[in-house]
Amino acid sequence: MLAVLVSLLSGSLGAPQTATGDELSDALAKQKALKARIADQKAKIAELNGLQADLRTVIGSTTAKLDGINADLADVKAGVKQMTVKVNTVQRIYDGQVAQLAALDAQLGEIETEEQTKAAELAQRKGLLADHLRAAYDSGRTSLLETLLSADSFADAINDVGYLIDIGDQDKALAMQIAKDQETLFALHEMVSETRFDTAQLQTETAAQKKVLAASLADLKAARARLKKLEAATAKQLAIQRKAYRTLATNAAAAKRILANEARENASMQRKINQLLADQLNGGGIPSEYSGSFIWPLAGTVTQEFGCTGFPWEPPLGNCRHFHIGIDIAAPLGTPIHAAGDGKVLYAGPLSDGAWVVIIAHSQHLLSLYGHVKTHIPVHAGQFVHQGQLIAFVGMTGHTTGPHLHWGVEIDHTWVNPRLFL
């Protein structure tokens, strides 16, 4: 019967009761706090997923620009800078996530130790109470089994047994403490099990984030290396051109003459283009509109973009002291040049400054110009050409500081950025 009594005492303590206490309250508070931390970690993972996706988009865009023909150096720089900022943001949040998981794991270890301590205390108290009951039973008291079986609860059983055996107030307090300990232990165990499961998932997801971040860091490193090469190639071509300009502009007066000549040549070229277009329109054969996009006429190193520039030999325009009305693409002498789009050749020959050019009308509103080409031009005025067709070769005719193609695009008598049509 004593064995049955001890078993019943242990069994009655196996499920959590409604007892409350400071330790139980602390355990429940810890459980609530841990759930909040887990939820925060899951939110960080979701944030990382969004940031990583955005970063991959920027990386893809920047890589495409680097892979493209005649990359815009300023645009690529901006892309690499944006990549750097976004990678640093992802790295910061990832590092914070790793630190939080480490702290969470450490806290969980403390709770597991607390659970083990509480389990040991519970076992000790159960043993102590069983010893007291055994001693009471051995003193000759009977009917314990009947009393315990008829009790509605453990607390009632303890009170009922108190009438049959000599259970003191201390033993009653010990029994109630066991009930509270059991509930606290249950809460601790439940907390550890749930948190272990959640942290395992978070660690797996964080490890996946690490792989994506590592790939992004590798892409950033590669983009920086390619940008460095692009900057070096551009700087080399610019140095050649600036050296040639300094040779021509031996003094302020010479530089002023060069600038004035460029302005006059631009105006003369514009008048010629307007007249050529008017003459060809009268003859017909030029479509009213152009549908489609342009291709690059050749691949090389872009030394000057369209728009305001720091090159002193470019004439002023608008609010810019120096303005470039096209894109300069440096390439070796004789490099083939192709038509950017379908159209009719308006002119193929020299301008007044000695520069040889090819001008193509793609529509009544849209023209493209290919300047400084070699004197051997394989197309002629009035000829219809297709996109990609050979039309000229890179030369150094006219006022030029090195072999390159000046590519300009004009719409309704206004020079615009050729990149808008690619």
Answer whether 358's CB lies under 8 Å from 392's CB: yes
The domain locations on the chain are: 2-236, 260-421
CA distance 395 to 331: 9
Q: Is 377 helix (H, G, I), strand (E, B) or coil?
A: coil
pTM above 0.75, yes or no: no
pLDDT digits (tens, 9 = 90+) for 136-151: 655 544 445 455 545 5
Helix (H) or strand (E) holding 385: strand 384-385
- Residue-wise pLDDT for 164-174, tens only, equals 444 556 666 76
Distance CA 49, CA 235 (A): 39
Q: What pLDDT score was predicted for residue 349?
A: 92
- Check: CB of residue 330 under 8 Å from CB of residue 301: yes
Q: Higher confidence at residue 154 or residue 64?
A: 64
Residue 186's nearest CA partner among 4, 18, 7, 34 is 18
| Amino acid code (one letter) for 361 | A
Residue 188 CA to residue 101 CA, distance in Å, equals 19
Domain 260-421 in CATH 3.90.1150.10 = no
pLDDT band at 388 (very low <50, low <70, confident <90, very high): very high
Share of the chain above pLDDT 90, in %: 30
- Cα–Cα distances in angstroms (integers) from residue 63 to residues 53, 77, 220, in the given order: 15, 11, 9
Six token digits for residue 335: 């490099």
Residue range 34-47, pLDDT digits in tens: 888 888 888 888 88
